[in-house]
Amino acid sequence: MTDSLEALRGEVLERIQQASSAKELEQLRIEALGRSGSITALLRGLKDLPADERPRMGEQLNQLRRALEHALDARVEEVNRQAKAKALAEEKIDITLPGTRFERGHIHPLTLVIDEIVDIFLAMGFEIARGPDIEDDYHNFEALNIPKDHPARDMQDTFFVAGGNLLRTHTSPVQIRTMETRKPPLQIIVPGAVYRHDDDATHSPMFHQVEGFMVDRNIAFSDLKGVLTHVLRQIFNRDAGVRFRPSFFPFTEPSAEIDIQCVICGGGGTLPNGQVCRVCKGSGWLEILGAGMIDPAVFKFVGYDPEEFTGFAFGMGVERIAMLKYGIDDIRLFFQNDLRFLRQFN
């Protein structure tokens, strides 16, 4: 039996040295020393030996078990050390290499334009006001001199919601809300989202406006012209031509549409290649916003004396300005979240 123990020792020790993973070594431990292992089976067979041989064979088996346990533990430690060294060699970081740059997000082009417009007005002494996106009929229409039977309501395809309310069709209701709670002098701008039932390459159901108004004693149309000419030249070009055309809005009188020289062709109507400018259609001018002197009827709704106070108001579409600034021909690009488009703006 002694010879068989030595053969078993040699076989198990050789397999231990050939094992290359902790999993293999654990399997060897189970085969040799587990409850059903070969050493355990021999220990259980001691009862079948003559009584005088049992102590000697028991001692040899225990020595063999301890030797195998020691060899297994030593080999497990060595295999783990080798695996760790291999991982360190393969996974090490070369600190001399450039670091991995994480891509940073970009400010949305509409936000860039809104921030630019707001900064221009803040530098002129205006302050920002906000109002609710869900409005009532009174503030969105009636107090702006647009009664229920007024044809101007047909100019704005309105989203109505429960309770007789609506999604505001312009930021002008904030003008009413501000004047209801404050007295002149006022220099206010109102950037925000507005909603109309319209959707094509140049219109969106949700878009953005910057409303603005100034109210005080002796405010004249010349003040309106001076403010808006300065703002438009700041946004586009300091030398750009600006013109005012008579128009109509229910809440201003007189009213005007304001045009700026085409930013694509420079006001000439044609491109360097001789083709007619498709943006201004050869006119050399682009309609950019609407404005006018606040109608005295609006002042009566908010409790201002139109004999004492005068003021002007204007509203500009942010998407239209952004399209002109960046040469974008489809408003839907602003809302599609296409990273190829958004990455162009820093």
CATH code, 328: 3.30.930.10
Provide the domain limits for residue 34.
2-91
Enter the tokens of residue 81: 């050390």
Q: Which residues of 263-299 are buried (b: 16+ CB within 10 A; e: fewer)?
A: bebbbeeeeeeeeebebbeeebbbebbbbbbbbeebb
What pLDDT does 197 receive? Answer: 80
Q: Do 87 and 181 share a domain, yes or no?
A: no
pLDDT recorded at residue 216: 96
Instruction: Work out the average pLDDT over 275-296.
Output: 88
Q: Are residues 307 and 210 in the same domain?
A: yes
φ/ψ region of 100 (left if φ > 0, alpha if ψ in -120 to 50, else beta) reads beta
Tokens of 262: 């085409």
What is the rounded CA–CA span in Å between residue 327 and residue 156?
Answer: 27
Of 211, 208, 236, 205, the C-alpha closest to 108 is 208
Q: How many domains does one find in the chain?
A: 2
Q: Are residues 52 and 158 in the same domain?
A: no
Q: Which pLDDT belongs to residue 154? A: 67
Residues 154 and 297 in one domain: yes
What is the rounded average pLDDT of the residues 118-123?
Answer: 96
CB atoms < 10 A from the CB of 238, how many? 7
**Mean pLDDT in residue range 122-138:** 94
Q: What is the largest CA-CA distance in the chain?
A: 130
58-76 per-position pLDDT tens digit: 777 777 778 778 888 888 8
The contacts of residue 251 (CB under 8 Å, 6+ apart) are 144, 145, 146, 172, 292, 294, 295, 298, 313
- Rounded Cα distance, 153 and 165, in Å: 15
Residue range 144-195, pLDDT digits in tens: 998 887 776 666 678 888 888 999 999 999 999 999 999 999 999 999 999 9
Rounded distance, CA 65 to CA 71, Å? 10
The identity of residue 166, as a single letter, is: L
Residue 258's DSSP bridge partners are 244, 289
**Is residue 225 located within the same domain as residue 311?**
yes
Residues whose CB is less than 8 angstroms from the CB of residue 67 and which lie 6 or more positions away in sequence, other chains included: 9, 13
Residue 103, domain member (yes or no) = no
Examine the domain organization and report whether 87 and 200 are in the same domain.
no
Q: Is the pLDDT of residue 320 over 90?
A: no
**Could you give the CA distance from residue 192 to residue 208 in angstroms, rounded to a whole number?**
6
The residue out of 44, 63, 91 marking a domain boundary is: 91
Average pLDDT, the chain: 85
Q: Are 220 and 201 in contact (CB under 8 A)?
A: no
Percent of the chain surpassing pLDDT 70: 93
Out of 93-97, 252-256, 316-320, pick the least confident.
93-97
Same domain, 184 and 77: no
319 and 332 Cβ atoms separated by less than 8 Å: no
- How many Cα neighbours within 13 Å face the side chain of 346? 3
Q: How far apart are CA 223 and CA 221, in angstroms?
A: 5
Mean pLDDT over 204-208 rounds to 87
Other CB atoms within a 10 A radius of the CB of residue 40 amount to: 15
pLDDT band for 133, please (50, 70, 90 cuts): very high
Q: How far apart are CA 236 and CA 316, in angstroms?
A: 14
Is the CB of residue 121 less than 8 Å from the CB of residue 231? yes
Residue 44 included in any domain: yes
Task: Identify the pLDDT of residue 2.
Answer: 61
- Among candidate residues 91, 117, 141, the one where a domain is terminated: 91
Is residue 98 domain-resident? no
- Are 82 and 161 in the same domain? no
Domain boundary among 91, 118, 151: 91
| Judgement on whether residues 134 and 259 belong to the same structural domain of the protein | yes
Would the pTM count as exceeding 0.85?
no
Asked if residue 220 has pLDDT above 90, the reply is yes
Are 30 and 142 in a shared domain? no
In a domain, 101, yes or no: no
Q: Please determine, for residue 36, whether its predicted confidence score (pLDDT) is greater than 70.
A: yes
Identify whether 309 is part of a domain: yes
Angle 16-84-79 (CA atoms, 0-180°, nearest 5)?
A: 5
Residues 23, 160, single domain; the answer is: no
- Same domain, residue pair 293 and 261: yes
With respect to residue 306, please indicate whether it lies within any of the assigned structural domains.
yes
E strands of the chain, at which residues? 127-128, 134-135, 166-167, 186-195, 206-216, 242-249, 252-261, 285-294, 310-317
Instruction: Look at residue 149 and tell me if it is in a domain.
Output: yes
| Packing angle, helices 109-123 and 221-235, rounded to 10 | 140
pLDDT band at 325 (very low <50, low <70, confident <90, very high): confident
Q: Is residue 100 part of a domain?
A: no
